[in-house]
Amino acid sequence: MEEGKITEYNSVSSLKVQGKGGFRATSFIFGLLGLENMGFVAVMVSFGLYFSFVMGFDLSGSANTLTNLMGSTFLLSILGGFISDTYINRFHTVLIFGPFEIIAFALITIQAHYKSLQPVCLEPNCISGKKAIFFYASLCCFALGGGGVKGALPALGADQFDQKDPKEAKALGRYFNLLMFSSVIGGAFGVTFVVYVSTVKAWWKGFLISLVSVTLGFIFFALGKPFFRLQQPAGSPLTRIFQVIVVAINNGKLQLPETSEELYEISEKESDSSQPKLAHTKQFRFLDKAAIHPKTGEPTPWTVCTVTQVEEVKVLTRMLPIIASTIIMNTCMAQLQTFSVAQGYRMNRFIKKFEVPAPSVPAIPLIIMCILIPIYDMVFVPFARKITKHPSGITQLQRVGVGLVLSIVSMAVAALVEIKRKHHSLKDPLHPIHLGWLGFQYSIFGIADMFTLVGLLEFFYKEAPVGMRSLSTSFTWISISLGFFLSSVLVDIINSVTKKRAPSKKGWLVGLDLDQNNLHLFYWFLAILSGLNFLNYLYWASWYKYKTDENVEPKTKPNLGDSISLSKSVSVSGVPLLKPSESAAAMPTIDESSNGPTEDANENSAAANRG
């Protein structure tokens, strides 16, 4: 590279410009996330009451509207991820979707301010006409903007660290912890100050603060462009996936060759040398048929795929059960953000003479997480690293597993607290139990979310093929999205089933009066469902094979001027919840793992020795 030449960073070609990237660049991401999350979390926790008391929804209607909104927001993250992997870089993707979120907050603020835009309901869920159009337009912009930003932002920050550089690779794990930290800092401010203004002063004033906060966040983020390493799109990842599936089906009647060396792979000279080639694995052998070289004619993308391309699809396929295993936890999170706020509204919310707004209850776990995340990053990770030899202390799937266990405990505690609240409310309705009781379930689940969310983001980014990292990190948000949608479905199913069997002919979750409902039974149901889901997760996490990069010698004897090593990703089999990934052994700054190599790794090592 010529001296003084300015080049954007391209994660595909691995070009780095001095002075760009690192934590200086990600500070703009942390700033945006803190300011954006202040508004996002504030409306997320207060919308339940806003929908009920201003927009005229009943308890289940309010809960389902909120969970559907959150589900749509996180689901649309896949759109942001796909666009940033395919058409434009991640930085510009964030700037394109950001204005939609700003418009959403503006519309919400206007409707909350003007009574003429609010429904006058004699019956629940009566919003209609122009008021409904205005209302749902704001929710659509909210979902599109928030989802698109979430699809591109985490991967953009991770791009600022080169995984091939030992120091930057080590910093990558800290980046994801700080990403969570900036998020909870903003969220904590949102659910305290902003929610207080919304519920005590005026709804529109709280929404206006959120609008200003989000706008400032995107302006601050835009100022960071000179410091970012910008990854250029590598083409449609979905096209590459479809090519493998289509070619494998077309070659379904062909016999696989005896050895994987006979499968099609382009030479190092013909390929982008910065793109790591993935070693062949024995899982999903049917997909290997896509790499059978046609006997006649020149190879084309729709007649034969490379081994690397096939292995990319295998990696994504291995991720699917992990995504599915975390949906139930996010369903539990949806309940804590809807029904627990309704619980808090019927509890004693005074701390001396100050009345705490019910939607501010989530401040408890956020404040705890603000304390625990730095301790986890600066104390636990270095300590665990000495024991496990893993750069992140524990593997990403171990971290997710801890979160799933804590979510089970959280739902069981929630059921016990609701039993106590309801019993005391029926016995002495004028003296309800204190709001602080909800702190137990929120605190436990907050810690669970700290483990699971960061673990999933880091897992999907590190395991994903280079050209699919935005799309892959979007899998985290898709899991949250499906959890919210499943929440709405479960509420409807539970109400439908229990309505037919209950002597009162009422479902567990109907009306606005929690004392006449059976919310505690719903919480017990979620606790049992979460326990069964954890057993399912244990199976798939033990089955999953991590990637690790090793240098192996090419099959043909190289010329002196050629590179003698090829970055090759080898799948390592192990039980992730019991031992760390062997990728830790590849880190130069970390002592080698005592775990022995797998059969595939041994074969690669032997091949290198024969050279």
User: Which pLDDT tens digit goes with each residue over 268-318?
Assistant: 545 544 456 777 788 888 888 888 887 776 778 888 888 888 888 888 888
- Among left, alpha and beta (phi > 0; psi -120 to 50; other), residue 161 is beta
Q: What is the b/e burial string over 212-248, where b = at least 16 CB atoms within 10 angstroms of the residue's CB?
A: ebbbebbebbeebeebbbbbebbebbeebbebbeebb
Query: Which of 492, 511, 543 is the last residue in one of the domains?
Result: 543
- From residue 226, how far is each of 4, 8, 36, 160 by CA, in Å? 15, 10, 21, 13
My answer on whether 187 and 85 are in the same domain is: yes
User: Which pLDDT tens digit goes with each residue over 22-77?
Assistant: 899 999 999 999 999 999 988 888 888 888 888 888 777 887 888 889 889 989 99
Residues 6+ apart with CB under 8 A from 434: 347, 348
- Mutual orientation of helices 519-543 and 327-336 as an angle, nearest 10°? 150
Give the pairing type, strands 350-351 and 354-355: antiparallel
User: Does residue 114 fall inside a structural domain?
Assistant: yes
User: Does residue 574 fall inside a structural domain?
Assistant: yes
Query: Which of 277, 305, 333 is the last residue in one of the domains?
Result: 305
User: Which pLDDT tens digit goes with each residue over 354-388?
Assistant: 888 877 877 888 888 888 888 888 888 889 888 88
User: Does residue 459 fall inside a structural domain?
Assistant: yes
| 19 in Cβ contact with 282 (< 8 Å) | no
Name the amino acid, one letter, at 197.
V
Q: What is the dihedral of CA 259, 264, 267, 270, to 10 degrees?
A: -170
Helix residue ranges, H only, 376-437: 381-388, 396-427
Range of the domain at 422: 22-233+314-543
pLDDT of residue 345: 81
SS (H, E, C) 488-552: HHHHHHHHHHHHHHCCCCCCCCCCCCHHHCCHHHHHHHHHHHHHHHHHHHHHHHHHCEEEEEEEE
My answer on whether 175 and 205 are in the same domain is: yes
Q: Please name every residue paired with 434 in a beta bridge, in sequence order, or none if there are none.
A: 348
Share of the chain above pLDDT 90, in %: 28
My answer on whether 121 and 197 are in the same domain is: yes
Residue 333's φ and ψ, nearest 5 degrees, are -60, -40
My answer on whether 404 and 255 are in the same domain is: no
| 146 in Cβ contact with 40 (< 8 Å) | yes
My answer on whether 511 and 593 are in the same domain is: no
Q: Can you tell me the distance from the alpha carbon of 282 to that of 1, in angstroms, rounded to the nearest whole number?
A: 40
> In the structure, what pLDDT confidence band is assigned to residue 563 with cuts at 50, 70 and 90?
very low
How is residue 134 written in tokens?
Answer: 């205005």
My answer on whether 525 and 581 are in the same domain is: no
My answer on whether 245 and 212 are in the same domain is: no
Q: What is the mean pLDDT of the chain?
A: 80
My answer on whether 255 and 229 are in the same domain is: no
Q: Can you tell me the distance from the alpha carbon of 248 to that of 246, in angstroms, rounded to the nearest whole number?
A: 5
| 517 in Cβ contact with 504 (< 8 Å) | no
3-state helix, strand, coil in the chain (%, to 5): 65, 5, 30
pLDDT of residue 588: 41
pLDDT of residue 17: 59
My answer on whether 596 and 509 are in the same domain is: no
Query: Which of 256, 275, 305 is the last residue in one of the domains?
Result: 305
Q: Which H or E run contains 49?
A: helix 22-53
How many domains does the chain contain in total? Answer: 3
My answer on whether 279 and 422 are in the same domain is: no
Q: Can you tell me the distance from the alpha carbon of 573 to that of 546, in angstroms, rounded to the nearest whole number?
A: 7
User: Does residue 11 fall inside a structural domain?
Assistant: no
My answer on whether 173 and 267 are in the same domain is: no
User: Does residue 7 fall inside a structural domain?
Assistant: no
